[in-house]
Amino acid sequence: MLAYYPYIKSLHLIFVITWFAGLFYIPRLFVYQIEASQKPSPEKEILGDQLKLMAKRLWFIITWPSAILATLFAIWLLILIPNYLEQPWMHVKLTFVILLFAYHLKSHQIFKQLQNDIVKWTSNQMRLWNEGSTIILFSVVFLVIVRDAINWIYGVIGIILLSILLMLGFKLYKKIREKNPNT
């Protein structure tokens, strides 16, 4: 069965990538839905209906299936090489995977609200929300690639600095948008 390990790992990575693609794009669609909800009729209804359809297709045709398949292939990999579960870096990685699922489930809740025309977030809050998956992705990739080669303290400092840079970038983008609303 170990002969299939590279194929299973490849499929796991492919579905992780498509899962993240969905998680990166769905908040962007949420931003557009929130902004469309503030437009006058008939633009509000036309844009709203189209964006709901796009979000529904992305969520149920790409994002959810990718999350499930990435998880199934990950479990299969852990069955093939169970000693990974004994390694500290894997415990940290699985913690980030739990955070990723929490992010995914919260995004699902927001998705359902917006599908029912319930708007509880501003477009700026949703832009900030969009950075959550980015931070998780950076954390997991660096953790898996460098594993034990990096001091944990430096890793934590790096993630904090990345988060700060993302927040500063968000604030800068917000200022640019306020000066020029067509960007």
Residue 104 annotated in ligand binding: no
Residue 108 annotated in ligand binding: no
Q: Are 119 and 37 in contact (CB under 8 A)?
A: yes
* 104-to-108, 141, 183 alpha-carbon distances in Å: 6, 18, 28
Residues recorded for the chain: 183
Angle between helices 5-36 and 131-146 (to 10 degrees): 160
User: From the CB of residue 56, how many other CB atoms can be counted at a distance below 10 Å?
Assistant: 13
User: CA 137, CA 131: separation in Å to the nearest integer?
Assistant: 10
Q: CA 178 from chain center: how many Å?
A: 26
Task: Detail the residues annotated as belonging to a binding site.
Answer: 12, 93
Task: Detail the residues annotated as belonging to a binding site for heme.
Answer: 12, 93
